[in-house]
Structure 1
Amino acid sequence: MPDDASVTQGGTFPNHVPISGSERSIFPGAVDTGPTDANETISVTVLLRRRSSAELMRKIEDLSARSPADRKYMTHEEFAANHGTDSADVDQVREFAAKNGLTVENVNPAMGMMTLSGCAAACNKAFGVTLENYLHPDFSYRGHTGPVHVPDYLKDIVTAVLGLDNRPQAKPHFRIYEESVVHGNGDLRSTAQAPLESDTSELNPAQAAQMSYTPTQVAELYNFPSNVNCSDQCVAIIELGGGYNKSNLDQYFSSLNVPTPTITAVSVDGGRNQPTGNANGPDGEVDLDIEVVGSVAPGARIVVYFAPNTDAGFVKAISTAAHDTTNKPSVISISWGGPESSWTGQAINAMNSAIQNATALGVTVCVAAGDNGSTDGVNDGLYHVDFPASCPYALACGGTRLVGSGSTITSETVWNDGVNGGATGGGVSAVFPLPTWQENAHVPPSANPGGGTGRGVPDVAGDADPATGYQVLVDGNQFAIGGTSAVAPLWSGLVAIANHTLGHQMGFLNPVLYSLSSQAHAFHDITSGNNDPNGVGDIYPAGPGWDPCTGLGSPNGGRLIQALSQSGS
């Protein structure tokens, strides 16, 4: 093995090569405050190539072509044995770490990950970066500009190095009416003059809240099967901050006459269940997710994976859930994300791989599509979709405005309250090509200059407008919350019901749902509205069939499960 060369005065790294897609630039609005302390201890996640990766993709493609009832998913043991990281590759990275003063903290061959730690000076030398500290008006972070490097002999082994840069990677996709009061008749009257987005930045007044629902009422409107006991199912929830209090959840579920689910918190990469007491922060996301899943899929066990809000933490949380041999979730709910343009290529590839692996194990991954309309909150004059919702192996969940009572839907349109009030994410991916299962969905060209085809987002939809939001209890206070954050756990609960009812895991649902879209009224087709936050309705309008605002539509739960039971027969 050749020697690892140190940094030269000119900033080049002899015998080092850059990792493709690892380039970083300074976060907009941040300023460099100086070098990171050379003695600061840093934890780095190294992702390694998989054994027989081409064969793994062939297996996933074969699963995708079959109906859920005809699929034979790999066990965790089979996956680790056939597609885990090769021990020889692990040994190469171990030697690299030892030569550069880094400690191997953890090796997980099934996840294809190693965790290394060391001081900043050692990390600078080992990975060919210069770590700096940065200050943004809302946060501080450690990071680098330019690419991450590895020695030439590791270039085909190491696929990503995450954690050197620890900037916040994602936002929770929920919107809450501050100090709102839910009354017994379901009407919501807000004492606030304006809704707040989950990052607590003030927004202009949106449409006044008119009606809110408990999650069980939303489930009834969407014809979810009732009187089910999903105790044979486990739903994973990914959280990148905040926490929950059991007493708060006990109070909430008691008010709905629903048994409090069994809830387990799993710490990932130092993240933990840590309530802040701020409903407008991540606590609102955590309680919303748990309360929606626990209400619509009663009996299902819930495991919450808490991780830091970094690209390394996010990827590791999903991988940990997918490869959890203790809890073995059948569904993963994700209500966090960010514009595709805010991710590095290596992080996108790592996240996409983690969700692919979940697919191979029969786990359905439901992801919120974002709350900032067709721009995804990026002010560059272009149109963007949210990631990981745009991952082609994820079920991307968009948002609607739902009006109804009992089991009758009066109207359902695209959720769009404008630039300051929020709108469902959706559009055409600039990263992922058009999947085969979307070829007949009439996904339009990208609205960006030059057009181009790509993965259409979202796949499905559900109630997300804060004006017709979900009644939840956060840190002891009752609110109505909207956002596509509510739709990911809603669909996760429906998938858990389907798994229970049909006796097998749905796994990767997208190809099946697109083939069922016109059958047995399995979806409520949303044909009115658009998701342009600037009011330009001809960018991505809703229409018959799939559209870039609400996908295939919102669910008719009972009919969808019936159609799934007949798929492939």
Structure 2
Amino acid sequence: MRNHIRIEGSELTMLQNAKKVGQADPNKQMSVTLYLRRSAIQSSLETKINEIAERPLSERQHFNHGEFANTYGVDSEDIKRLEDFANRYNLDIKEVNRSAGIVVLSGATASLNQAFGVELADYEHPDFTYRGHTGHVYIPEDLADVVQGVFGLDNRPQARPHFRLMNENEVLSQNRAKGVSYKPNEVAKFYNYPSDVDCSKQCIGIIELGGGYRKEDITAYFKDLGLPEPQITDVSVDGGKNKPTGDPNSADGEVGLDIEIAAAVASGAKLAVYFAPNTDAGFLKAITTAVHDKDNKPSVLSISWGSSESKWTNQSIKAMNQAFHDAAALGVTICCAAGDRGSSDGEKDGLAHVDFPASSPYVIACGGTKLEGKDGKITKEVVWNEKKYGATGGGISDVFDPPKWQADAKVPTSANPGDRKGRGVPDVAGNADPVTGYQILVDGKQFVVGGTSAVAPLWAGLFAIINQKLGKPIGLANPDLYKLPSKDSAFHDITSGDNDSTEEHGSYKADQGWDACTGLGTPDGDELLKALNASLHDVSK
């Protein structure tokens, strides 16, 4: 287009097995989300975050929401330029989040086609229909230094939930043994979580891209556990709502699992559940809404949705990673599920892949184990790998370089050709095998559920406890976790198993120390708290 240039990293292709059925209705009203640069001093934010993370806990000070907005919010002149652009193409500005760098525009499909140089069409896939485009998104040349990403033109599903309902007929037939299951607070006991901690001053944010929960299930579940029912606030993002489908094997299973585990292990914590559409725009908006939420102010986020890095556009990864970057500055710890399809992450190209957003260096990637225990003690724990019935994700990022805090972790090169050195995934682990899964209540029925989806809220609950006991948020925790010496006994080192679920591509094996199946290991909550508390009160560290 004349005077338009393409946004690098915005290119899309038609989904495999989909077919184009016609042009999108030119008169239909729709919205798009623009991700903008922040102030001219945004480049200093990464340096600032690294400085914060490298300081001992005793000296660590995060931004509050007001300070962050004033220092790193979108420049008012850039908003003025967006207003001129919107007027030029008959679009309306519906929302501005200066702190997050988000502007939402709405207008007719025809106007958006012209504004962004795309031809929106309707597509049919065997599993769903979607509106989308192929090729790049374009913006006027005079906005090239302002607009860093455009999301929502294409509304194909972006991510999948990482949970697995226990199916005894399938999984147990290969094990030739009966499975066991636990209540979330029993798993917390195995991991020696600090007990009798009132987390009522903490808020855990949970990202959900579909499904919902029934209040009567939550009431009944926590009554059965003998624990107080959590206070839950539903936050609607881009029209997303708490809307249970009635099918536990749908996203309802994810929502119920996240809420019930997080609230069971961090008793008294408030929960803010951010419901958003399962699109690139919805996922991004859910995260920026949660990170910059001045009302609920979650200090921990749990994210159990994701997909292989290869399924994301570069503009999506860049924008979401920046949102996680903001979270680190604001003192928000983010726990992400590492995936349930082994080292391939479900891809069928014969290569190893890791899941995003777990691969972001600004989140804690949570892998999975198979845990067996008795009388509150772990008797055996290995890498979760039930082959085609599920295995923990993990490996080497194709996108992110090794972060500074993994320098001494002996992260191997990628199992793929080329021996790439990249960010190692996961960072930590927890019980995830459905064979040793969690007892939850969804849509009025009891189920046993596993998946790394369970590990993200399990660790989110632990960080809520730690924040409560320390009296301040730890924020970006990875630098602290990787500094802990083995003598602190903060982790159970998992040394048995691998995450090759297909035997058709490279995979990774458990080993002493960090590995690309279970990271640093599973937690000893009391010992982890002691180690972090010692750091908080020792200014020499």
Q: Shorter-chain TM-score category? A: over 0.9
Match of 1:3 in 2: none
Hey, what does 1:194 align to over in structure 2? 170
Cα deviation, 1:241-275, whole Å, max 9, x if unaligned, reads 00111110000000000000100100001101101
Question: Pairwise CA RMSD of aligned residues?
Answer: 1.4
CA shift for structure 1 position 508 = 0.2
- The correspondence for 1:497, drawn from 459, 462, 465, is 465
3-state SS, counterpart of residue 413 of structure 1: strand
Say whether 1:438 aligns with 2:406.
yes
What is the rounded CA distance, in whole Å, between the counterparts of 1:231 and 1:513 in structure 2? 25
- Once the two structures are superposed, the pairs formed by residues 398-437 of structure 1 within 5 Å of their partners are 398-418=367-387, 420-437=388-405
Answering whether residue 90 of structure 2 is matched by residue 96 of structure 1, we say no
Partner of 2:4: 16
Between the aligned partners of 1:541 and 1:495, the Cα distance in structure 2 is 27
1:449 matched to 2:417? The reply is yes
Partner of 1:64: 53
Q: Which moved more, 1:211-220 or 1:514-523?
A: 514-523
Give, as a single letter, the amino acid of the residue that structure 2 aligns with 1:27: L
Question: Residue 117 in 1 paired to residue 106 in 2?
Answer: yes
1:38–1:121 Cα contact (<8 Å) kept: yes
> 1:165-222: per-residue Cα shift (whole Å, max 9, x none)?
10000000000025xxxxxxxxxxx4xx336xxxxxxx99777651000000000000
Residues 285-328 of structure 1, C-alpha deviations (whole Å, 9 max, x = no match): 00100000110000000000000000110011011011000010
What CA distance in whole angstroms lies between the structure 2 residues aligned with 1:69 and 1:399? Answer: 32
Query: Which aligned pairs between 1:531-550 and structure 2 lie closer than 5 A?
Result: 531-535=499-503, 539-550=507-518
In the superposition, the TM-score normalised over structure 2's length comes to 0.97
Mean alpha-carbon deviation: is it higher for 449-458 or for 29-38? 29-38
Q: Sequence identity of aligned pairs in percent?
A: 56
Secondary structure class of the residue paired with 1:485: helix
Structure-2 change in CA distance of 1:107 and 1:538 (3 Å): closer
Amino acid at match of 2:42: S
- Residue aligning to 1:369: 338
Distance in 1 (CA, whole Å) between partners of 2:53 and 2:15 is 38
Q: How far, CA to CA, are the matches of 1:538 and 1:17 in structure 2?
A: 39
Answer yes or no: is the 8 Å Cα contact 2:425–2:516 preserved in 1.
yes
Structure 1 counterpart of 2:285, one-letter code:
K
Match of 1:527 among 495, 515, 518: 495
Query: Letter of the aligned partner of 1:224 in structure 2?
Result: Y
* 1:206/1:373 CA distance change after superposition, 3 Å: farther
Which residue in the other structure is 2:283 paired with? 314
In structure 2, the residue matched to 1:145 is: 134
TM alignment of 1:47-446, pairs within 5 A: 47-51=35-39, 52-177=41-166, 190=168, 193-194=169-170, 210-418=179-387, 420-446=388-414
Structure with greater helix percent = 2
Query: 2:504 and 2:532 mapped to 1: Cα distance?
Result: 37
- The SS at the match of 1:453 is coil
Give yes or no for contact 1:369–1:426 (8 Å, CA) kept in 2.
yes
Q: Contact 2:344 / 2:505 at 8 angstroms: preserved in 1?
A: no
Verify: 1:30 aligned to 2:18, yes or no.
yes
Which residue identity is paired with 1:504?
A: K
Instruction: Report the secondary structure of 2:15's partner residue.
Output: coil
1:563 counterpart = 2:539:
no
CA distance in 2 between counterparts of 1:102 and 1:336 reads: 32
**Secondary structure at the residue paired with 1:156?**
coil
Deviations 1:399-458 (A, max 9, x none): 00000023211110000010x200000000000000010011111111111111000000
Contact between 2:494 and 2:511, CA under 8 Å: does it hold in 1? Answer: yes
Q: 1:567 to 1:208 in 2, by over 3 A?
A: same
Q: Give the 3 Å change call, closer, same or farther, for CA 207–61 of structure 1 in structure 2.
A: farther
Name the CA distance, whole Å, in 2 between partners of 1:123 and 1:206: 54
- The letter for the 2-side match of 1:44 is V
CA shift for structure 1 position 513? 0.1
Whether contact under 8 Å (1:209, 1:466) holds in the other structure is: no
Return closer, same or farther for 1:129/1:205 CA change in 2, 3 Å cut-off.
farther
Amino acid at match of 1:271: G
1:29 positional shift = 1.5
**Contact 1:68–1:504 (Cα < 8 Å) also in 2:** no
In 1, Cα distance between the equivalents of 2:182 and 2:506? 31
Q: Is the 8 A contact 2:236 2:275 kept in 1?
A: yes
User: Aligned partners of 1:387, 1:172: CA distance in 2, in Å?
Assistant: 12
CA 382–564 in structure 1, closer or farther in 2 if over 3 Å, else same:
same
Return the TM-score normalized by structure 1: 0.92
- Please state whether the residue corresponding to 1:28 is helix, strand or coil: coil
Show CA shifts across 1:23-62 (max 9, x none).
Answer: 0011111111111111121210001101111121111010
Contact 2:38 2:74 in 1 (8 A): yes
SS in 2 for 1:519: helix
Aligned residue identity for 1:551:
G
The AA in structure 2 aligned to 1:50 is R
Flag structure 1 segments of 5+ consecutive residues without an equivalent: 1-12, 179-189, 196-202
